[in-house]
């Protein structure tokens, strides 16, 4: 069975500590549902754009957004198809993880068992990744020919993957480890990083391996409690400095090691953990700007407020109070009656209180 080799360095510990801190803040930030939906949609667009761009897809984020919304754009059919395909991959991950997690929660017979991610998932994700791009006999099927890995940015050969005859055995051994109790003892972020590296190294298919490897790594994170509201996109981190991404993979892959298990993954895992830590730190900052003050969160939990009400509460948090003149300037596009209804609703929810007479009234946090 495959067994990864790596060392828990101070860097890895530092990055995972940052990941845990950001995760805690993001998951407990009381956001308006509309904001949560917006964050998730933005993460999907970023993931699809950067996950395909790093492989050479020329479409920009605006064009990707248009494709995902069903709009027609002027681009090559293959480029558009890659976007559609990767969105379908993300849908598969959502569906698979949600359905299986539900079964595990509701079945006593499954207690103590590891969430299973199988070779079948690998084949299905690859099929979705290359739909209408590769031939049917190559879609979701292990390669029968030798390939080389090239940097899509420079065209340089990074390394030569294992012989095709070795692919089924290496893949089977890896999934044996991934679904073992030993794998479950490893921090989910490390397990995801290992998954990404192994599949990128084995290179099971003739094309689409990078996207498939990143998708499986994401599936590991999601299935082990690290979906983090699906607000993040590791692909953006990889794509921002694709040279470093490929060089880090290449440095590990070019080690002189007798077997896959002998390869030391420490440098790759440091890079992988750094990427997730950096991405979540950015998400955390955005979430904190839009979330309610921690005093309110402690008393009210997940509050459902309209965007107008959120602006009112955030203004009060920043300046201590809001007067009639101030809220009229803050929300110029809405009538006085609408804003007064919002203020009364916030008073009913015991988030704010009114001080002073009608004309000179101000609203403050309770």
* Residue 176, pLDDT above cutoff 50: yes
Of 267, 290, 313, the residue that ends a domain is 290
> Annotated binding site for ATP, which residues?
207-214
The mean per-residue pLDDT over the stretch 127-145 comes to: 97
| Overall number of domains in the chain | 2
Please name which of 276, 351, 301, 296 lies closest in space to residue 16, comparing C-alpha atoms: 276
Catalytic one of 50, 123, 187, 203: 203
Q: Please indicate, yes or no, whether residues 328 and 261 belong to a single structural domain of this protein.
A: no
The mean per-residue pLDDT over the stretch 170-174 comes to: 98
Q: Per mean pLDDT, which range of 62-66, 145-149, 209-213 is the poorest?
A: 145-149
* Residue 105, pLDDT above cutoff 50: no
> Within a domain: residue 4?
no
Of 237, 271, 290, the residue that ends a domain is 290
Is there a catalytic annotation at residue 203?
Answer: yes
* Residue 292, pLDDT above cutoff 70: no
For the chain, what is the mean pLDDT?
Answer: 88
Q: Please indicate, yes or no, whether residues 208 and 328 belong to a single structural domain of this protein.
A: no
Q: Please indicate, yes or no, whether residues 66 and 177 belong to a single structural domain of this protein.
A: yes
Strands 362-365 and 322-323: antiparallel
pLDDT of residue 77: 97
pLDDT of residue 295: 46
Alpha carbon 87 to its chain's center? 13
> Annotated binding site, which residues?
207-214
pLDDT of residue 361: 85
* Residue 301, pLDDT above cutoff 60: no
The mean per-residue pLDDT over the stretch 5-26 comes to: 97
Nearest-angstrom CA–CA distance, 75 and 59: 8
Residue 153 confidence class, pLDDT cut points 50, 70, 90: low
Kind and range of the H or E run holding 31: none
Higher pLDDT, 353 or 209: 209
pLDDT of residue 110: 41
**Can you give the CATH number for the domain in which 270 is found?**
1.10.3290.10
Residue 144 confidence class, pLDDT cut points 50, 70, 90: very high
Higher pLDDT, 356 or 265: 265
Please name which of 289, 108, 243, 270 lies closest in space to residue 189, comparing C-alpha atoms: 270
Residue 294 confidence class, pLDDT cut points 50, 70, 90: very low
**Can you give the CATH number for the domain in which 319 is found?**
1.10.10.10
| Domain range enclosing 80 | 10-290
């Amino acid at each position: 069975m495959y067994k990864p080799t790596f060392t828990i360095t101070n860097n890895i510990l530092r990055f995972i500590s940052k990941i845990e801190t950001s995760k805690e803040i993001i998951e407990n930030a009381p956001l308006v549902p509309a904001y949560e939906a917006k964050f998730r949609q933005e993460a999907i667009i970023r993931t699809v754009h950067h996950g395909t761009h790093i492989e050479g897809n020329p479409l920009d984020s605006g064009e990707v957004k248009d494709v995902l919304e069903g709009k027609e754009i002027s681009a090559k059919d293959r480029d558009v198809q890659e976007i559609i395909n990767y969105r379908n991959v993300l849908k598969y991950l959502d569906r698979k993880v949600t359905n299986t997690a539900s079964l595990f929660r509701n079945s006593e017979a499954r207690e103590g068992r590891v969430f299973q991610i199988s070779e079948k998932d690998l084949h299905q994700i690859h099929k979705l990744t290359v739909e209408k791009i590769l031939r049917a006999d190559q879609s979701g099927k292990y390669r029968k020919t030798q390939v080389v890995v090239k940097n899509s940015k420079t065209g340089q050969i990074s390394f030569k993957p294992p012989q095709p005859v070795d692919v089924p055995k290496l893949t089977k051994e890896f999934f044996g480890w991934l679904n073992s109790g030993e794998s479950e003892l490893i921090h989910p972020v490390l397990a995801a990083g290992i998954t990404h590296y192994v599949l990128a190294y084995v290179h099971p298919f003739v094309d689409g391996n990078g996207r498939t490897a990143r998708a499986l790594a994401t599936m590991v994170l999601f299935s082990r409690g690290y979906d983090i509201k699906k607000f993040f996109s590791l692909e953006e981190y990889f794509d921002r400095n694709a040279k470093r991404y490929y060089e880090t993979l290449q440095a590990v892959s070019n080690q002189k090691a007798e077997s896959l298990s002998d390869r030391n993954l420490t440098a790759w895992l440091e890079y992988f953990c750094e990427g997730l830590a950096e991405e979540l730190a950015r998400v955390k900052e955005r979430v904190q700007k839009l979330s309610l003050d921690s005093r309110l969160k402690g008393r009210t939990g997940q509050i459902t407020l309209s965007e107008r009400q959120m602006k009112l509460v955030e203004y009060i948090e920043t300046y201590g109070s809001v007067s009639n003149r101030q809220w009229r300037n803050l929300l110029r596009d809405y009538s006085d009656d609408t804003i007064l209804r919002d203020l009364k609703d916030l008073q009913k929810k015991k988030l704010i209180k009114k001080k002073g007479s009608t004309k000179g009234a101000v609203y403050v946090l309770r």
